[in-house]
Structure 1
Amino acid sequence: MSQTLSSSKAETSAVCLPVPPPLSLYIHIPWCVRKCPYCDFNSHPLRTPLPEQDYLEALTRDLQAALSCVRGRRVHTVFIGGGTPSLLSAAAVDRLLSTVHTLLPLDPQAEITLEANPGTFEVEKFRAFRDAGINRLSLGVQSFNDRHLSALGRIHDGREARAALDCALTLFPRVNVDLMYGLPGQSVAEAVADLETALATGLSHVSTYHLTIEPHTLFYARPPKQPDEDSTASIEEEIDARLAAAGFFRYETSAAARPGHACQHNLNYWLFGDYLGIGAGAHGKLSTQQGITREIRFKQPRAYMEAAYRGDAVQAREPVAPRALPFEFMMNALRLREGFEPALFAERTGLSLTVVEPILRQAQARGLLQWDAHRIRATPLGQRFLNDLLTLFLPE
């Protein structure tokens, strides 16, 4: 019989977090030139000029209102995501980061990432982004193949993607490229060619995502024909082999990097760290001595700005029930190929590892998990069937 987490044991365990985990800051920019047919993120096509100054003022007020929740805590990473943050002017990014530096104790070595679309790449503008303090750029390339880019509704072509990547590598000390596979009509050779094009530039980080059809997207209403499971499996095997041959380590389900170049912001997510999220639709997770709370900001940009001006842009705050914490922790930490140290579970959830020991034993017996005194991690089988592994940690 399949075993799941006993709710009574988790509910009666005291949740006490005397030392909060590392803190990151996420800033959401909700606009795009146009909405891609596969995208289910909170992004909105620009139909009027970007209300840059009004939105920056809303972000400032949002951050000011949130200071009481994070007072005295150092911020270790900043991630400006979207949408398409590179639609902002260089002056806006400079003002935004100046506000962050003014209001928060930011680590002098903080990783500060900006997401960018190759179709918005301008050399002088991106040089000014770097000068404003951006030290890591994440390029949403998805593919270098014009046919696939057209099918995905991207605003750039392969030539623009290659030019943007080449230039980014001269400007920023760290660059990530997002690539998608399992695209309509994509062959194994075409998927590998996209990866090889990226690797040939000498970049240090690659994120690879299988195209998934999400509800409330255009592709959900009119699904494209994707490669079959055998072809997709072959693509994944080839990607892993090529990455390994190039000296990359796949440290997380979708991310691979050369040694020392893993994304510190995303690692904080996977290790169940805290993050303050500001901006339209941004999510946050904050820990106190009393427990863990999740937040979400108003989703529609106009509603968000109005709420931020009123002094509280948070649409919903909800404490995470102790019985839900094991699943939430494992859902993040087991994405990491190296897993986590056993002591981290108690440090980040406030629960004793004994709460999940029966599940760990069961997963280990099924070949899904490795567990010893030093590490807890998914086996290769557990990585392949990660959803099955995580289901074991769901509360009854």
Structure 2
Amino acid sequence: MRGEAVRREAGGDKRDEAKASLGDIPLSLYLHFPWCVRKCPYCDFNSHAVRGDIEEDRYVDALIRDLDYELAVAPLASRLSPPVGSIFAGGGTPSLFSGRAIGRVLEAMAARLPFAPDIEITLEANPGTADAGNFREYRAAGVNRLSIGVQSLDDVQLKRLGRIHGREEAIAAYRTARDAGFDNINLDLMFALPQQTPDEALADLRAACALAPEHLSYYQLTLEPNTEFAAHPPVLPDDEAAWTMQLAGQALLAEQGYAQYEVSAYASAGRQCRHNRNYWEFGDYLGIGAGAHGKLSGAGGIVRRARHKHPRSYLEGAGGAAAIQEERTVAASELPFEFAMNTLRLNQGFSLAEFERRTGLRATVLDAALNQARKKGLIEEEGGHIRASVFGRAHLNALLREFLE
């Protein structure tokens, strides 16, 4: 019945007006590089340990063919008018690829898509694969933001996490990035690590802050299905200790001038990650590469597509439909939950007007969910703007369930 109600509410002139504005939805580009030196025991991303040499040129050629195919058949082919505002090269370990290869990719993308004048281009880098020459070439190719996966600056924890680098390598990679001209750097850091105490977690975070990156992604280690840690769980801090770490970490980050704008994202002034914000604000994005996901809005609805995860399957199919593992149009009944699942991660939340623009649905379809969330103290409202309350952010899954009903 709930789905039928959403479909009824989605009809009429209001939806037609919302569809007319779909061409204004921001557009980003995600590029996936699937190889790593070694698969970390906690990692559930689409990454594969390198066996032999990476065929850089072959993979770059596949990415270019894949984008050509996407632009030819994507439901948004007629509305790719907004310039691409951000590009994110993730993995895996994109920094396994040479500066020349990354330059080829970006040059090909720029020849096929309009780029915003101030486009943000992020590349993920592993401290264990940092190379000064490559970093300089990345910067020269147009990469203007690095995301370095340090995960910890404690040698004991890095060994427990199966990382291929140590504390000194992580610090050296950061300094190498600075020397190469990067003035916008994110550090990934985790807490609630195996046998970690709250004091140790805070010391780890303090060491990361001392480097003065522009952005920090600070998140709790969780045991994900189909990982080595899931099969052989390490001893992790209990929930109370993890909550203590989170609160102490948030206080330290605020003290150091990092404003929290999303569940696990903290930035100095003007340095929020535009690419990730576009995800959380329910923007559109092209997904290119092995296992990449994309979301595109068009007159026929919102279409999600996913590429084959395994590099071999992807390489064989890139440039045609054979590279696509899944394609589906998101049902109107699913959109309230999908929208809330993203936007309520942001401290600022969302406006009802933006919900209508991004989904093509009337905001009244949210009435039941908002009423229940309001009664439970999970949300705050002001002038048609909805955001999670402090209590709601601490119980985000409970809040999101209201939109799943």
**TM-score between the two structures when normalised by the length of structure 1:** 0.96
Unaligned runs of 5+ in 2: none
Partner of 2:114: 105
Partner of 1:79: 88
Q: Deviations over 1:89-140 (max 9, x none)?
A: 1100000000010011111210000000001111121011101100000000
Q: Deviations over 1:242-298 (max 9, x none)?
A: 011111111000100012110000000000000110100001100002210100001
Q: 2:323 & 2:381 partners in 1: Cα distance? A: 42
Partner of 1:41: 45
Q: CA deviation at 1:312?
A: 4.7
* Partner SS for 2:318: helix
Correspondence for 2:394 among 384, 391, 394: 384
Q: 1:316 & 1:244 partners in 2: Cα distance? A: 41
Partner of 1:9: 5
Deviates more, 1:79-88 or 1:202-211: 202-211
- Could you tell me which amino acid in structure 1 is paired with residue 91 of structure 2? G
Q: CA deviation at 1:19?
A: 2.2
Contact 2:340 2:400 in 1 (8 A): yes
Q: 1:295 & 1:190 partners in 2: Cα distance? A: 41
Q: CA deviation at 1:310?
A: 4.3
Unaligned runs of 5+ in 1: none
Deviates more, 1:5-14 or 1:293-302: 5-14
Q: Deviations over 1:313-341 (max 9, x none)?
A: 22211000000000000000000011122
Contact 1:360 1:371 in 2 (8 A): no
Partner of 1:169: 178
- Could you tell me which amino acid in structure 1 is paired with residue 286 of structure 2? L
Q: CA RMSD in A?
A: 1.3
Partner of 2:232: 222
Contact 1:145 1:194 in 2 (8 A): yes
Partner of 1:32: 36
Q: 2:212 & 2:224 partners in 1: Cα distance? A: 33
Q: CA deviation at 1:162?
A: 1.0
Q: CA deviation at 1:201?
A: 1.7
For residues 1-396 of structure 1, the aligned pairs below 5 Å read: 6-12=2-8, 13-14=10-11, 16=16, 17-20=19-22, 21-68=25-72, 69=74, 70-71=76-77, 72-73=80-81, 74-170=83-179, 171-310=181-320, 312-395=322-405
Q: Deviations over 1:188-223 (max 9, x none)?
A: 121111211111122110001111101111001100
* Partner SS for 2:403: coil
- Return structure 1 stretches of 4+ with deviation > 3 angstroms: 309-312
Residues 195 and 169 of structure 1, relative CA distance in 2, 3 Å threshold: farther
- Could you tell me which amino acid in structure 1 is paired with residue 28 of structure 2? S
State how many pairs are aligned. 391
Q: Deviations over 1:162-181 (max 9, x none)?
A: 11112323421210000011
* Partner SS for 2:345: coil
Q: 1:212 & 1:310 partners in 2: Cα distance? A: 36
**TM-score between the two structures when normalised by the length of structure 2:** 0.94
Deviates more, 1:69-78 or 1:199-208: 69-78
Deviates more, 1:135-144 or 1:363-372: 363-372
* Partner SS for 1:41: coil
Contact 1:61 1:311 in 2 (8 A): no
* Partner SS for 1:330: helix
Contact 2:26 2:85 in 1 (8 A): yes
* Partner SS for 2:169: helix
